Amino acid sequence: MEDGLIVVKVGGSEGIDYAAVARDAAALWKQGRRLILVHGGSAETNRIAEALGHPPVFLEHPGGLTSRLTDRKTLEIFEMVYAGKMNKLIVELLQREGVNAVGLSGLDGRVFEGRRKKAVKYLENGKLKVRRDNLTGSVEKVNTGLLNLLLGAGYLPVLTPPAISYEGEAMNTDGDTAAAQVAVQMKAEALLLLSNVPGLLANFPDESSLIAEIPADRVEDSMAFAQGRMKKKVLGAADAVKGGVGRVVFGDARVEAPITRALAGVGTVVR
Ligand SMILES: Nc1ncnc2c1ncn2[C@@H]1O[C@H](COP(=O)(O)OP(=O)(O)OP(=O)(O)O)[C@@H](O)[C@H]1O
């Protein structure tokens, strides 16, 4: 039986070992494993935005989620880093390992398509406010035809935000929930969310408080542990499992063989 498809989201936070991810992806790919990589780039985007004199601003939403305020200039910086520097770095690392990787942003071939949020509610000094200039939205439709075409022809897709709105505008989107949509719509066997932590920690940042397993029907309860950006990952995991993905693993991307480890269940397994 052919091994199922694995969707791997590699984060963009500090400390991630992209060379180790590429080595491991290449080894698995050469054994016949079908893979799609999705990546982030938040830490580098923050650095470049500072350097360009357009420092990042984060909005705090009612309910505790935060997001990057994305005006046109931020979107362009975001594209430079995600679709430029980070995407090409990962493609290069895979090419060096002998894998014919193809990097695409969500705009290319409308790989990540969705609804742009016309109005975004956020809190400022405890007061509820609304912004209408924010270029953000969530992925609803994945171009599975294009991804299957690439996989079928032997290319490893390396995908990154931004996404495209139904009206054809580029928009910032969360990489974790985009990866979850890829996993659901491509009917993946597993979704691996690799970042700079060993998994979901009950008592962040204490790494010895790793939660080994979360039953699928309890995913939402674990929102209580997740802080800040980890909340998006937990939401992505909940979407994926509800959408039929066999398992989601939160794993560490700072180590050797990060994909193999997560597949073996090292980290937090949601199923
Ligand atoms: N309970 C928790 N367990 C583990 N990490 C947590 C927890 N709560 C918050 N975090 C934070 O979540 C971060 C990982 O999410 P983040 O979105 O920053 O990373 P990423 O996916 O690598 O980046 P990107 O958004 O660029 O893809 C960790 O670095 C940690 O600081």
Query: Which residue puts its alpha carbon closest to atom 16 of ligand 1?
Result: 229
DSSP-derived 3-state class of residue 214: strand
**ipTM for the assembly:** 0.94
Query: For residue 1, what pLDDT is reported?
Result: 35
d(CA 35, CA 4): 9
What's the CA-to-centroid distance between 39 and ligand 1, angstroms?
13
Ligand 1 binding site (Cβ under 6 Å of any ligand atom): 11-13, 40-42, 175, 195-197, 200-201, 204, 225-230
Say how many Å lie between the first and final Cα of the chain, rounded.
22
Q: What is the crossing angle of helices 87-96 and 18-30, to 10°?
A: 50
Helical (H) or strand (E) element with 47: helix 42-51
> What pLDDT, on the 0 to 100 scale, is given for residue 228?
75
CATH number for the domain formed by residue range(s) 6-51+70-114+138-270: 3.40.1160.10
Substitution site in 195, 210, 234 for ligand 1 pocket (most atoms within 8 Å of beta carbon): 195
Residue with tokens 């935060």: 66
**Best probe residue, ligand 1, of 204, 208, 219, 221 (max atoms within 8 Å of C-beta):** 204
3-state DSSP assignment of residue 167? coil
- Tell me the per-residue pLDDT of 29-62, one tens digit each, with 9 for 90 and over: 999 999 999 999 999 999 999 999 999 999 999 9
Instruction: Tell me the pairing of strands 35-39 and 156-160.
Output: parallel
How far is residue 245's CA from residue 249's CA, in Å, rounded to a whole number? Answer: 11
β-bridge mates for residue 58, sequence order: 68
In this prediction the pTM is: 0.96
Spans of all domains in the chain: 6-51+70-114+138-270
Say what the pLDDT of residue 221 is: 84
